[in-house]
Structure 1
């Protein structure tokens, strides 16, 4: 499907005539070595730079909250804001017919044996046609999944303040994985090159993909009859993990990269998928509004309609702790990083910071002058 763009393009030019060292007869200046991990226009930091990005449905105002300074600033306005997603750095705010792409200005680069953290000024990148995207990204591409199709955006162009397609992907769902793309079409899982060309097909199938994510243990599709875990580097393998009963509803939610996933179930409860054990557990919880898994050997969080946040053991499903946060949990979401969980409270115009490893201790509440109707966390 076509995706029109309205991107701001920043052109950077430099001429030798502007440099004194290029004058006739001058000895060429010795270039300074580029520091490892250097990113032009960004500051490298010693730790992750988490930011909360929240959009208010009524006004369309999009705010960025720094939990360290506790300051929130408006960075954009999206008329008819109705959904939000992130690939870790870039934020996709869906309006009535288009989606605005914003650079939150914070991100992480994981080299495997070490990690770099960066921050820069937030900015607007541009717009794409369509809405309701669920983004998944890697250093080369961000894949946007929606009910209307899939778009693959070039990550380097986004970093330069432009929007450009990385490949044409005609599929029901797709994820970036192992320097390739995995795409589901008519139940068949295809392995695509980054240019969108089909390289191979996997033996296992995925009917009616409902959700997808990428973890350190592989890529996962939620299919009609269970999850499909695709893992490996050069040689990919696919393993079906049948549902224990009901199917998932509303997508996977988890701390980025981790191998325990949580989702609301179609029968009204909560499903937890442990990719290490290749096993689901079902947790009987009435009226779950928002869920998220915080990691292996770390609690699963469930916010129910009565405004109570509960934690559960990810292996046994046993209840661990609970705390009442709000009177009305409608529209609330849970975002999780390595240290804290953030629970949005649209009706209370607040965001609650939770220490999920300390019996759901309420660490702070950020009182806002806007409704955080749609919220994501960036910096990962």
Structure 2
């Protein structure tokens, strides 16, 4: 069953149309645009530019290996690949990365993405497709930049892939290195190794140290800079005037075993991050304020952060979805969503208007309005088990 809500689509269309009009009137440097240009501003070969975001979900059935893409605007689901033994999934805006039981990483182009031009966005769509495999050792960590994508294996090997070639369907590495973490950023590569983070050119070189980071685990790219999870908190790496600098954001207390943040979840582009805090609850990292807060909720199955002055979401083992104020830590809403005991790997994906939770037991995906007391806006019945899920087009 699919119930539809049109207000979100109409609002996004109007907003997107305004952005496109602005692009047509000016170049990025402020010059008047020439309407007779053969290549329009924002043009991407082989893709269709759209006036609104094109959100899609990549869904993988852990039992059958069927991988589908769910278009959240039309509600239509299409098969894109067959991947045996899926064990995990990650996404970074356009691509989905599926870890398999054999140890290889399968890369799926979700076919929808957004390009940030600073004061506005461009939105694109094309057909989803299977790009192939990357050989390595799980668990993997992936980070996408404008020019390259970095894929790190558990043994520390990092392989770089040319984004332009990926966009044409060619999954070919451009070189390898070793690091505890690697994030493409500002035409450089930020690398954590030997207790420090360094910034080096993508083409190579020794790099410039920007800050200390012992036992790095977890990264996130925000509008304020790049976050590296460290043993004593986080390192925020920024760039001003061509120079990189690091600032440590320490935990507010000495953490218990297993309590430190090792994976950050957030709405792409936002500066409020969420992470599991072991049996204690959920960490909230406000990058703009450079402040941690621990929501002492007990263990959670999944978490995500919507953004500044917006709720932090968590799913508990009883199938209840909770919303918390990121500043006060107070619970602001809750809803019984999934049936316990939980199966598969439920996750929370968020964009600018909705949150999505995969419900493997019900063979469905729920769309949640997090601004309306966690109201269930739509339910998509998939016809297969959506064991793993990530969102593209953000």
How do 1:206-285 residues align onto structure 2 when only pairs under 5 Å count? 206-233=213-240, 234-245=242-253, 246=255, 247-285=259-297
Aligned partners of 2:99 and 2:106 also within 8 Å: yes
Give the Cα separation in 2 of the matches to 1:32 and 1:364.
Answer: 42
Kindly provide the CA deviation profile for residues 248-267 of structure 1, in whole angstroms up to 9, marking residues without a partner as x.
Answer: 34500110111000000134
Give the Cα separation in 2 of the matches to 1:34 and 1:71.
Answer: 32
In structure 2, the partner of 1:99 is 105
In structure 2, the partner of 1:70 is 75
Match of 1:82, SS state, is strand
Aligned partners of 2:279 and 2:299 also within 8 Å: no
Computed over aligned residues only, the root mean square deviation of the Cα atoms, in angstroms, reads 1.5
Distance 1:199 1:287, change over 3 A: closer
In structure 1, the partner of 2:309 is 297
Aligned partners of 1:87 and 1:142 also within 8 Å: no
Distance 1:186 1:199, change over 3 A: closer
In structure 2, the partner of 1:109 is 115
Gaps of 5+ in 1: 1-30
Give the Cα separation in 2 of the matches to 1:294 and 1:146.
Answer: 29
Aligned pairs, how many? 349
Match of 1:207, SS state, is coil
Aligned partners of 2:261 and 2:283 also within 8 Å: no
Gaps of 5+ in 2: 1-35
Match of 2:268, SS state, is coil
How do 1:18-97 residues align onto structure 2 when only pairs under 5 Å count? 33-95=38-100, 96-97=102-103
Give the Cα separation in 2 of the matches to 1:41 and 1:177.
Answer: 25
**Superposition deviation, residue 132 in structure 1:** 3.0
- Structure 1 residue 187 corresponds to structure 2 residue 188: no
- Structure 1 residue 357 corresponds to structure 2 residue 371: yes
Aligned partners of 1:89 and 1:378 also within 8 Å: yes
Aligned partners of 1:221 and 1:229 also within 8 Å: yes
Aligned partners of 1:168 and 1:195 also within 8 Å: no
Give the Cα separation in 1 of the matches to 2:180 and 2:163.
Answer: 21
**Superposition deviation, residue 281 in structure 1:** 0.5
**Superposition deviation, residue 374 in structure 1:** 1.1
How do 1:302-313 residues align onto structure 2 when only pairs under 5 Å count? 302-313=314-325
Kindly provide the CA deviation profile for residues 35-78 of structure 1, in whole angstroms up to 9, marking residues without a partner as x.
Answer: 22111211100011000001111111111001121111110011
- Structure 1 residue 127 corresponds to structure 2 residue 133: yes
Aligned partners of 1:169 and 1:196 also within 8 Å: no
Structure 2 length-normalised TM: 0.85
- Structure 1 residue 371 corresponds to structure 2 residue 346: no
Match of 2:301, SS state, is strand
Distance 1:186 1:73, change over 3 A: same
Structure 1 length-normalised TM: 0.88
Match of 2:177, SS state, is coil
Aligned partners of 2:68 and 2:81 also within 8 Å: yes
In structure 2, the partner of 1:23 is none
Kindly provide the CA deviation profile for residues 273-322 of structure 1, in whole angstroms up to 9, marking residues without a partner as x.
Answer: 00111111111112300000000010000110000000001111111000
Give the Cα separation in 2 of the matches to 1:226 and 1:89.
Answer: 29
Match of 2:165, SS state, is helix
Match of 1:359, SS state, is coil
- Structure 1 residue 168 corresponds to structure 2 residue 176: yes
Match of 2:368, SS state, is strand
Work out which of the residue numbers 134, 140, 144 in structure 1 matches 2:151: 144
Give the Cα separation in 1 of the matches to 2:299 and 2:319.
Answer: 10
Aligned partners of 1:167 and 1:194 also within 8 Å: no
Give the Cα separation in 2 of the matches to 1:52 and 1:236.
Answer: 35
In structure 2, the partner of 1:159 is 167
Match of 2:204, SS state, is coil
